[in-house]
Structure 1
Amino acid sequence: MKLIVGLGNPGPAYAATRHNVGFWVIDRLARTLRISVDKAKWKGLVGEGCVDGQKVLLLKPQTYMNASGESVAEAVRFHKLNPEAILVIYDDMDLPLGTLRVRMKGSDGGHRGLRSIIAHLGTQEIPRIRIGIGRPAPGVSVTDHVLSPFAPEEREAAEAAAVRAAEAAAAWITEPIDRVMNRFNR
């Protein structure tokens, strides 16, 4: 079984924000895989399907970003998953807008959602896809930056990155992560 988690904040007020690109990816992946992510479970919204004989769970934690680990840990414990069977997708200010980075493991890099997941699972050995949202403009706080929508001139690059991230996540279901990294880390 594989668990793919997209990070974001629940509710319509956050839907278009930079911090919610992980949710955008889950929504695109769900459409591609024909999985409905609409069941309330594990403090999140969950969908379940099968891809090439592989059971797949899609999860959008509804705990708010900083407590994402609560939802992920419940799903992981319920299914007794190893960390390598989990893929976390989230926004990253340290990457230029629209850039993707697929990684096998690593620190939280200052991302509080990932920090929560690492703390709840007790390991940094969690595969992830980071989606670049760019740095805040001078004088703009980090909080205001991540909780703001993309500017109209940024929207196309952000949406294209979400599409590529969904493609990478779909590839991860059936391919080794090093092959996914080689293909999508350009």
Structure 2
Amino acid sequence: MYLVVGLGNPGSKYSLNRHNIGFMACDYWLKSLNGADYREEHKALTKRFKLNDLDVILAKPQTYMNKSGESVISLMNFYKIPKENLLVIHDDIDLPFASMKIHFNRGAGGQNGVKSISQVLGGNEYARLKLGVGRPPHPDFAVSDYVLGNFPKEEMAQMDQYLEAASDAIESFIFDGLTKASTKFNGPVKLT
């Protein structure tokens, strides 16, 4: 069984924030699979389904970003999911918009949801799909204000292509494994 966790903050006022791209990726992937609605369990909105013959749980923690680990550890313990089958999807300001990076066993890089998950898991030994949202426009712009700001229209116009590539990366992680997925998807997304 695989657990794919998208990070974000619950509530409609956050839905188009840069910080919520993990939630956006989950929603896009589920829609592309013709999935039904989420259900609420373990402090998360979840959807359990089969992808070919593999069991997958898609989760969006509803604890707010800095307590995401509470939901993740609860789901992992309940469903007995090993760390190597966990993929956490989140925003990254050190990557330009429409760039991705899949990696394993790295520090949180200031991402509070990742810090929370690493704390409850006792380390960083799990895979992450980092989705680039770019940096604030100038050094005086607070990072928190930037990530809690909405994507501009220009980026929203390209969002479907970006999230489609993220969906492909998620499936590659599940079917091909971490190494092949990172080789194939690390870098900028080809936008048309």
SS at match of 2:35: coil
Q: CA deviation at 1:160?
A: 2.8
Change over 3 Å in CA distance of 1:37–1:68 after alignment to 2: farther
Q: How does 1:4-43 map to 2 (within 5 A)?
A: 4-43=4-43
Structure 1, unpaired ranges of 5+: none
Q: CA deviation at 1:36?
A: 2.9
Match of residue 67 from structure 2: 67
Maintained 8 Å contact 1:100/1:132: yes
Maintained 8 Å contact 2:43/2:62: yes
SS at match of 1:47: strand
Q: How does 1:94-109 map to 2 (within 5 A)?
A: 94-109=94-109
Maintained 8 Å contact 1:3/1:57: yes
Match of residue 168 from structure 1: 169
Give 1:146's aligned amino acid.
V
**Are 1:111 and 2:111 counterparts?**
yes
Between stretches 127-136 and 34-43, larger displacement belongs to: 34-43
Maintained 8 Å contact 1:37/1:48: no
SS at match of 1:13: helix
TM-score, normalisation: structure 2: 0.92
Q: CA deviation at 1:33?
A: 2.5
**Are 1:126 and 2:126 counterparts?**
yes
User: 2 CA distance for matches of 1:159 and 1:7?
Assistant: 18
SS at match of 2:81: coil
Change over 3 Å in CA distance of 1:114–1:12 after alignment to 2: same
Maintained 8 Å contact 2:19/2:90: yes
Maintained 8 Å contact 2:46/2:59: yes
Change over 3 Å in CA distance of 1:114–1:9 after alignment to 2: same
Q: CA deviation at 1:154?
A: 2.4
**Deviation digits for residues 137-158 of structure 1, max 9, x if unmatched?**
2232111100100111222344
Maintained 8 Å contact 2:104/2:124: no
**Deviation digits for residues 28-83 of structure 1, max 9, x if unmatched?**
11112233342100101000000121000000000001110011010011112211
Maintained 8 Å contact 1:52/1:174: no
**CA RMSD of superposed structures (Å):** 1.2
Q: CA deviation at 1:159?
A: 4.0
Give 2:169's aligned amino acid.
A
User: 1 CA distance for matches of 2:29 and 2:63?
Assistant: 21
Match of residue 152 from structure 1: 153
User: 1 CA distance for matches of 2:33 and 2:156?
Assistant: 24
Give 1:78's aligned amino acid.
F
User: 2 CA distance for matches of 1:94 and 1:37?
Assistant: 32
The number of equivalent residue pairs is 186
Between stretches 25-34 and 93-102, larger displacement belongs to: 25-34
SS at match of 1:3: strand
Identity of aligned pairs, percent? 37
